[in-house]
Amino acid sequence: MSYSKPIPFKYIDKITLKDFKGYRKPFETLYGEKGFAFITTTLDYTINENQLEVNALFHPSRSYTYNDRFDRLLLKHELYHFRITEVFARKCRMALAQEKMPSVENIEKCLAQFNLSENEMQQQYDRESFHGYLMKDQIRWEKRIDSLLVLTKEYEETKITY
């Protein structure tokens, strides 16, 4: 496996299932099925002088797809997981923008709080859409996530200047 560095959310439209370069754990299945995919996303930050940057990142080397599963609907479902991460990156930016230059401790506390909420939403998304197999529920989730992205559009810019 060759390492691929994390990809920021602004490049979401360039991601394909071929970017999913990780491996599944031995004997890992989804309800007994080996043909599945998973995406790994994180919230991360960097500080430079009077600027804080909060990013939603896709980790190609920690994301996986079964060799024969290069289909459009699977990719769409997985990328909505990335969109959920971006929603929480924006919420984190919104919270941190209210402070004067926050301490590293406050930044990490904020990220931890939003990571918990994001993880809950990620699990709910998979549970209710049955990992994208229930199309009616998948579409309902897509609309919900798209609405959240529109509502937080003001915090789309990853950098906060203090």
- Taking only the tens of pLDDT, the chain with its 162 residues reads 567 899 999 999 999 988 998 876 655 555 555 556 789 999 999 999 899 999 999 999 989 887 655 578 899 999 999 999 999 999 999 999 999 989 999 999 999 999 999 999 999 999 999 999 899 999 999 999 999 999 999 999 999 999
The number of domains in the chain is: 1
Quick check: is 91 in a domain? yes
Structure confidence at residue 60 (pLDDT): 96
Quick check: is 52 in a domain? yes
- Listed in order, strand segments (DSSP E) in 37-131 are 37-38, 41-48, 51-58, 64-65
3-state secondary structure at position 5: coil
Quick check: is 37 in a domain? yes
Quick check: is 77 in a domain? yes
User: Rounded to two decimals, what is the model's pTM?
Assistant: 0.91
Distance (Å, rounded) from C-alpha 50 to C-alpha 52? 7
Say how many residues make up the chain.
Answer: 162
Quick check: is 2 in a domain? no
- Whole domain around residue 29: which residue ranges? 7-161
